[in-house]
Amino acid sequence: MLITKLKDKQSLLSLVSGKAFLIHCHGCMELSFPLEEAAAVQKELSGAGKVAGVMTADYICNPENLRLRLRAHMDEISQADMVLVFSCGVGVQTVASMLEEMKVCAACDTYPLPGFQGLTPLEHDCGQCGECYLNLTGGICPITACSKSLVNGQCGGAKNGMCEVDPTMECGWERIQRRLAALGRLDLLKSPTQIRNFAAGGEGTKETTTV
Amino acid sequence: MKITELFDRGEFVVSAEVGPPKGIHIDHLVEEAKTYLSGVHALNVTDNQSSVMRLGSLATCKVLKDAGLNPIYQLTCRDRNRIALQSDLLSAAMLGIENLLLLTGDHTRLGDHPQAKPVFDLDSVSLIHTAKLLESGVDLGGNPLVGQAPSFAKGAVVSPCSDSVDAQLTKMERKVAAGAEYFQTQAVFDPEKFIQFMERAKQFGKPVQLGIIIPKSAGMAKFMNDNVAGIHVPAALIAELKADKEKTKAGITGIEIAARIIKACKPYCQGVHIMALGWESKVPALLELAGI
Ligand code: SF4
Ligand code: SF4
């Protein structure tokens, strides 16, 4: 289990282009989830006429569960220009992998909670880095999908699209490149140099993270 | 001397690579470098190449510099965090080592200490950014440096024959944006691919040195095809290496192949970087045959 915090409001509102379909996950909310802040953002977006629909669900990290839930909202989703997910990084990645044609954005950053592990990380993994990169990488987590957790693009080690560390694993940055190309968002790869903040979360800092 | 000054002057810049030994005796490396590589403009010193623990790159650079050669300090992000990397960059500047080649580095799992913790606190792009920041007199933590700031020629690598060439070009662009001033490439065996790559890379306006490995045998070529990222030796070249075993063993076939690749690519690049991998003694003959 983990802790999510909303990204700062300005960067959140600037993420939304056109109409957004909002997904709130309340799976682990008994622990720590910014419910009130999320409601405030939703209110602001909906006041501006930017909400195409809202879905609230438990454990969207569980693909079977999510697939069923999404089915009931496909009409609204098809009206939307993007999907904004209020959940941990696993939830966002699960949504992104099911809505391949959509721009799927993370509304939260995910932090580790000392002593707890993520609940149902089945296909996707979140390293709880505390500064979610999914909005720059087409919903594929560079921290867990890349063996070196690189945040500025592919290293020189990929061979036939596979990772230098594990030839049975597809290179995460190859997947990111492909997904952004499919979304027409290769411009995101020209983002300014990213420098990780290990004081924000991630392994090795669990003891010192204060919440 | 900064390698960027040579590019600025329009020189076709030739560099070669040396790998420090696994031990403390460096005389042999220095002797070989002085004998065979004094004709090149600069010498790359690898940083625990392939994640195999060796004598340090920085110390070796200093020894080469004292011997009158012009070293390029290779620095990877595999073994050091941002504090150690910046400290080593300052050490390099203090020792008068001005040429850098900044890399992410191979994963620890690939080397001779697979149990080691991989660091990757920074990566090639953020390390270039950091070197540039130090040049402005500030460190990555935002703290001012005392006294004169260091000044470097900041190099980076790119892999033109990678099967992920789009991702490589994207990364190259990010390196340029972060402050990379020149590039060396992974070894090229297919001039056609390199030329296509340069058609796309020339928009960045940075000098590129063609990477060259002298192929030693058909077996080596096949091994690289199977195991080394970004290297593809075409079947025709493997057949050529197979045809006359004695000639190949003597290094003549490899030199002919490498010289041909250099000649075909020369109009499209600004220099050549030779990774001799133990065949340092063949570098003068190669340069002569290639007409440089
Ligand atoms: S980038 Fe990855 S590790 Fe970081 S919060 Fe997002 S999903 Fe989790
Ligand atoms: S090959 Fe790809 S996944 Fe593996 S370390 Fe390099 S960039 Fe990351």
Please list, residue by residue across B244-281, b when 16 or more beta carbons sit within 10 angstroms of its beta carbon and e when fewer do: eeeebeebebbbbbbbebbebbbebbbbbbbbbeebbe
Judge contact between B212 and B188, C-beta under 8 A: yes
Backbone φ and ψ for A54, nearest 5 degrees, come out as: -135, 140
What domains are there in chain B, each with its CATH number? 3-290 (3.20.20.220)
Could you write out the three-class secondary structure of B146-193? CCCCCCCEEEEEECCCCCCHHHHHHHHHHHHHHCCCEEEEEECCCHHH
For residue A162, the SS3 value is strand
β-pairing, A2-6 vs A108-112, is antiparallel
Give dist(CA B290, CA B258) in Å, integer: 8
pLDDT, tens only, B47-85: 999 999 999 999 999 999 999 999 999 999 999 999 999
pLDDT(B236) > 50: yes
Residue type, position B212, single letter: I
**What pLDDT digit, counting tens, does each position of B106-148 carry?**
999 999 999 999 999 999 999 999 999 999 999 999 999 999 9
Residues B23-50: pLDDT tens digits? Answer: 999 999 999 999 999 999 999 999 999 9
Q: Please, which residues bridge with residue A25 across strands? A: A57
Distance A171 CA to ligand 1 centre (A): 17
Predicted model pTM? 0.89
What does the pLDDT look like over A47-64, one tens digit per residue?
Answer: 999 999 999 998 898 888
* Among the bound ligands, the one closest to the CA of B171: 2
The predicted structure's pLDDT at residue A110: 87
Q: Could you tell me if the CB of A173 is within 6 A of ligand 2?
A: yes
- Rounded Cα distance between B45 and B268, Å, is 26
How close is the Cα of A49 to the center of ligand 2, in Å?
41
**CB–CB contact B174 A190 (8 Å):** yes
- Rounded Cα–Cα distance for residues B171 and B160 (Å): 12
Helix, strand or coil, per DSSP, at residue A21: strand
d(CA A147, CA A154): 11
Instruction: Specify the higher pLDDT residue, B224 or A29.
Output: B224
Within an 8 Å CB–CB cutoff, is residue B129 touching chain A?
yes
Nearest CB to A155: which of B104, B109, B228? Answer: B104
* Strand pairing category for A2-6 and B182-187: unpaired
For chains A and B, CB pairs below 8 A equal 97
Radius of gyration, alpha carbons of chain B: 18
ipTM exceeding 0.90?
yes
pLDDT in single tens digits along all 211 residues of chain A: 467 888 988 888 888 989 999 999 887 755 667 888 889 999 999 999 999 999 999 889 888 889 999 999 999 999 999 999 998 888 999 999 999 889 999 999 988 765 554 455 456 788 889 899 999 999 999 999 999 999 999 999 999 999 999 999 999 999 999 999 999 999 999 999 999 999 986 444 333 333 2
Query: A39 or B149, which is more confident?
Result: B149
Q: Which residue from B106, B163, B174 is facing A153, i.e. has the nearest CB?
A: B174
- B positions 244-283 inside 8 Å of A (CB): none
Q: Which residues of B touch A148 (CB under 8 A)?
A: 104, 107, 118, 120, 123
